Amino acid sequence: VDGAFLAIRRPVISEIGLLNEDYFMFGEDMEWCARAQKAGWKVMVLPDIQVLHRHGASSKQNFREALQQSTLNVCRFMRRYYGEKDAKTAFDVFLAGMLLRIPLSILRRNGLAKEYLCALKRSYHIRRKLKQHLIKSDFA
């Protein structure tokens, strides 16, 4: 479920708490839904409801950092719910995705090729010490 538009019952919030602020800007919606499911609540998508969301308006201000944060937060989620091996695999998939987006951005002329290249370089260096980066907090 995408956090651009969430509707949740008050008893769910009382039981599982609010969004985890350790996942600043990306991944908090995914983690919240996982906690709700784990607590026995149903998580649903209602495809007939439409909401206009200016996708990426916040992240475009610093695309590189947003891409990095999104990657790390998804991997933090993977580590918490599926283990370290799956988190590393997810990180490698993100690296491959960044690499593939460089030539696509050049072809599309969207001006993001340099951003993807810089994010890829930073992520590659992070990969060596990935475990330290994924343990941002205890996520209790």
pTM of the model: 0.76
pLDDT digits (tens, 9 = 90+) for 42-57: 999 888 988 876 666 5
Contacts with 21 (C-beta within 8 Å, 6 or more apart), sequence order:
28
pLDDT digits (tens, 9 = 90+) for 91-128: 999 999 999 999 999 999 988 999 999 999 988 888 88
Kindly write down the DSSP assignment for every residue of the chain, as one continuous string.
--TTS----HHHHHHH-S--GGGTTTTHHHHHHHHHHHTT------TT------TTTTGGGGHHHHHHHHHHHHHHHHHHHH-HHHHHHHHHHHHHHHHHHHHHHHHHT-S-HHHHHHHHHHHHHHHTTHHHHH-SS---
Query: Mean pLDDT of all residues in the chain?
Result: 86
The predicted pLDDT at position 87 comes to 93
The predicted pLDDT at position 9 comes to 92
Portion of the chain with pLDDT greater than 90, in percent: 44
Contacts made by residues 106-110, CB under 8 angstroms, sequence distance 24+: none
Distance CA(82)–CA(90), nearest Å, equals 11
The predicted pLDDT at position 139 comes to 43
For residue 17, is pLDDT > 80? yes
Higher pLDDT, 22 or 29: 29
Distance CA(119)–CA(108), nearest Å, equals 18
Q: Which residue in the block uniquely carries the two structure tokens 């708490």?
A: 17
Higher pLDDT, 52 or 34: 34
